[in-house]
Amino acid sequence: MTIDKPAARPARAHFSSGPCAKRPGWSPEKLNAPTLGRSHRAKVGKARLKEAIERTRALLEAPDEFRIGIVPASDTGAVEMAMWSLLGPRPVDLLAWESFGEGWVTDAVKQLRLDARVLRAPYGELPDLAQVDPAHDVVFTWNGTTSGVRVPNADWISAQREGVVICDATSAAFAQPLDWAKLDVVTFSWQKALGGEAAHGVLILGPRAAARLESYTPPWPLPKIFRLTKDGKLVEEIFEGSTINTPSMLCVEDYIDALEWGERLGGLKALMARADANLAVLERWVAKTAWIEFLCADPAARSNTSVCLKIVDPAFVALDEGAQRAFVKKMEALLEAEGAAYDIGGYRDAPPGLRVWCGATVETDDVEALTPWLDWAFEEAKSA
């Protein structure tokens, strides 16, 4: 079967899951600021870094007692800083249901060689969260960027827990409600839900994590960019606008611009509502489309940001994995050539399929315009 090309294209065809679409109305002229060409340690630089921290707190609705710092190496740097600095005194439960969660398993088991228990689930599913031991430390991703699966809530985390909970929230922050009372460390990167630039991470420490840092010294050496304490005390300057290494002040301005946009929009609830509306478009399309399904079958655990889709057409399913990946690449190439969608192939370690970013910086009208192009590209690739 062949179908005609759709008449309309998305106004912005940016559906990448990182770096993600810039905010609507973004332009580089917005970034011209007196901080450019100045030291991040100058008064003006520190003030803008501090502003970025406080705007983050307000937009995320993070409690006042949580410390927020800007750190190197994106979300990966923030998670590994927390793991290397906090883990060791207790056994640790590691939850893995997609690629990045598996990365933290590698860090804990092969690099740090911790007393670790791994709770796994295949792509599209969650592990048995009831298995988590409140006496253990915990490391998990709130939203599995490469699987499209998120935890529906934090009810499975004990309020009487003895361990610390490290939450990689990089594709959940600003799009899904985070239960701050159940989280001791939260990390994310600017390049995800607010469409900022890459290479900068945010590390948020609750009181229990701060107490662990000041009462525990890891037995392994810590590189400079991981050091959060000095002489047994937390380096408070990190959470007041000083950074461990040099940040890009251009990226700082871009992040502040995105935060201001989120504030003008109506804050966290408005950002989450936009992501939910984008997911709803795909849910309606999948419900009426025979060749596609969600990788995550459970609506309660389905991501509203990194929405992962699997092709279930019998002819596709009959192909070996290599041929399936080639089919998806054909679809990607067709869509990119038409300017209808960029970077929507599934993650390289995930099952062959599609992944559409639906975070708040994506317009719902563009998701609506995308779906007929997906139908067109599928039929074109199938008949090639």
Antiparallel, parallel or unpaired: β 306-311 and 292-294: antiparallel
What is the reported pLDDT for 146?
98
H or E stretch covering 202:
strand 200-205
pLDDT digits (tens, 9 = 90+) for 262-320: 999 999 999 999 999 999 999 999 999 999 999 999 999 999 999 999 999 999 999 99
Average pLDDT on 220-229 reads: 96
What is the reported pLDDT for 121?
98
Helices (H), the chain: 43-60, 74-86, 99-106, 207-215, 249-265, 268-287, 314-317, 321-337, 364-383
Average pLDDT on 318-330 reads: 98
Question: CA-to-CA distance for 322 and 96, rounded, in angstroms?
Answer: 25
What is the reported pLDDT for 30?
86
Question: CA-to-CA distance for 195 and 189, rounded, in angstroms?
Answer: 10
Res 1 pLDDT > 80: no
Helix (H, G, I), strand (E, B) or coil at 136: coil
Same domain, 102 and 172: yes
Res 2 pLDDT > 80: no
Same domain, 215 and 303: no
The domain boundary, picked from 203, 236, 264, lies at 264
Q: Kindly report which listed range (30-34, 178-182, 192-196, 300-304) carries the lowest average pLDDT score.
A: 30-34
pLDDT digits (tens, 9 = 90+) for 328-380: 999 999 999 999 999 999 999 999 999 999 999 999 999 999 999 999 999 99
Residues 6+ apart with CB under 8 A from 309: 148, 282, 286, 292, 293, 294, 295, 353, 354, 355, 356
Question: CA-to-CA distance for 375 and 372, rounded, in angstroms?
Answer: 5
What is the reported pLDDT for 351?
97
Q: Model pTM greater than 0.95?
A: yes
Residue 7 lies in a domain: no
The domain boundary, picked from 236, 264, 292, lies at 264
CB atoms within 10 A of CB 199: 16
With contact defined as beta carbons under 8 Å apart, do 149 and 97 qualify? yes
What is the reported pLDDT for 199?
95
Provide the CATH number for the domain around residue 48. Answer: 3.40.640.10
Q: Which of 345, 273, 358, 361 is nearest to 309 (CA)?
A: 345
Same domain, 250 and 320: no
Q: What is the DSSP string of 48-83?
A: HHHHHHHHHHHHHT--TTSEEEEEESHHHHHHHHHH
Mean pLDDT of all residues belonging to the chain = 97
Q: How confident is the model at residue 384 (pLDDT cuts 50, 70, 90)?
A: confident
pLDDT digits (tens, 9 = 90+) for 106-153: 999 999 999 999 999 999 999 999 999 999 999 999 999 999 999 999
Q: How confident is the model at residue 321 (pLDDT cuts 50, 70, 90)?
A: very high
Average pLDDT on 147-163 reads: 98
Res 87 pLDDT > 80: yes
Same domain, 232 and 295: no
Res 173 pLDDT > 80: yes
With contact defined as beta carbons under 8 Å apart, do 222 and 235 qualify? no
Provide the CATH number for the domain around residue 287. Answer: 3.90.1150.10
What is the reported pLDDT for 193?
87
Same domain, 35 and 158: yes
Residue 22 lies in a domain: no
What is the reported pLDDT for 5?
96
Same domain, 149 and 256: yes
How many domains in the chain? Answer: 2
Res 69 pLDDT > 90: yes
Q: The domain containing residue 293 runs over which residues?
A: 268-383
Same domain, 286 and 260: no
Same domain, 205 and 301: no
Same domain, 66 and 134: yes
Residue 14 lies in a domain: no
Residue 18 lies in a domain: no
Same domain, 66 and 154: yes
Residue 282 lies in a domain: yes
The domain boundary, picked from 248, 264, 280, lies at 264
Average pLDDT on 66-90 reads: 98
Same domain, 318 and 198: no
Same domain, 277 and 240: no
Residue 21 lies in a domain: no
Question: CA-to-CA distance for 201 and 344, rounded, in angstroms?
Answer: 24
